[in-house]
Amino acid sequence: MKLQIINGPNLNLLGIREPEVYGFSSFEDYLQKLIQRFPGVEFHYFQSNVEGEIINKIHETGFSFDGIILNAGAYTHTSIAIYDAIKGVATPVIEVHISNVHARETFRSHSQIAGACKGVIAGFGLDSYRLAVEAMMSR
Ligand code: DQA
C-alpha cells in the first residue's frame, strides 16, 4: 500500500510551535515510528507552506497512490482550491488534525475541505495520523 502524507502550513514547526497544543515531537521523528509500525506501507511525506504546492502534490499522487492523509493546517478552514483538488482526483483523502479543532477558536470548527474527504480524524495528537493509516488499511 502506497500512502502520501501531506502536511500544510506551519507543520514544519512541529515540536517547536505551540508544544502545549501540538506536542514536542517533530513530524520526521514521528514518521519513523509510523514506518516501523506499518512495514507493509510505503510512506511518502511532503510538507509545504504554499497552497499551490499542496494542490500540485494532490494532483501528482491522486491517481496512483492508495490514499492521501492530509493535514492542510490553516488552509483547512479557507481553501476552496484544495477542496476542488481533492474532488478532482481518484485517490481517497482523509483529513487529519493533531488538535481537536472543535474545542478551539470557532473559526477552526469549519472545514472547507471535509466535504471532499472520505473522513476526518482530529484531536488525538500525532496519533491522528496512525488512526488515518488504520482507516486507509481497513477500506
Ligand atoms: C491543525 C489545526 C489547524 O486549525 C491549524 O491551523 C494547524 C494545525 C492541527 O493539526 O491541529 O495548523 O491542522
Q: Please state whether 15 falls in left (phi above 0), alpha (psi between -120 and 50) or beta.
A: left
Q: Kindly tell me the sign of the dihedral angle through the C-alpha atoms of 16, 122, 102, 50.
A: positive
- Nearest-angstrom CA–CA distance, 48 and 28: 14
Compute the distance between CA of residue 125 and CA of residue 66 in angstroms, rounded to an integer: 24
Give distance in angstroms: CA of 73 to centre of ligand 1.
4
Q: What is the pLDDT of residues 58-88, one digit of tens each?
A: 999 999 999 999 999 999 999 999 999 999 9
- Please report where in the chains the cell 475541505 appears, as a residue: 113
Ligand 1 pocket test target in 97, 105, 106 with most atoms within 8 Å of CB: 97
How much is the average pLDDT of 100-120? 98
CATH topology of domain 2-138: Rossmann fold (3.40.50)
Domain limits, the chain: 2-138
Which cell is 122 given?
Answer: 482530529
Specify whether the CB–CB gap between 14 and 31 falls below 8 A: no
Nearest to 132 by CA among 64, 70, 72: 70
Asked if residue 108 has its Cβ within 6 Å of ligand 1, the reply is: yes
The answer to whether 136 and 67 have CB atoms below 8 angstroms apart is yes
| Band of residue 4 on the pLDDT scale cut at 50, 70, 90 | very high
**Cα atoms found within 13 Å of the Cα of residue 106, Cβ hemisphere only:** 0
Q: Report yes or no: 89 and 112 within 8 Å, Cβ to Cβ.
A: no
* Ligand 1 atom 13, closest CA: 73
Cα 122 to ligand 1 centroid, rounded to whole Å: 9
Give the residue whose CA is nearest to atom 7 of ligand 1. Answer: 73
Residue 34 pLDDT more than 90? yes
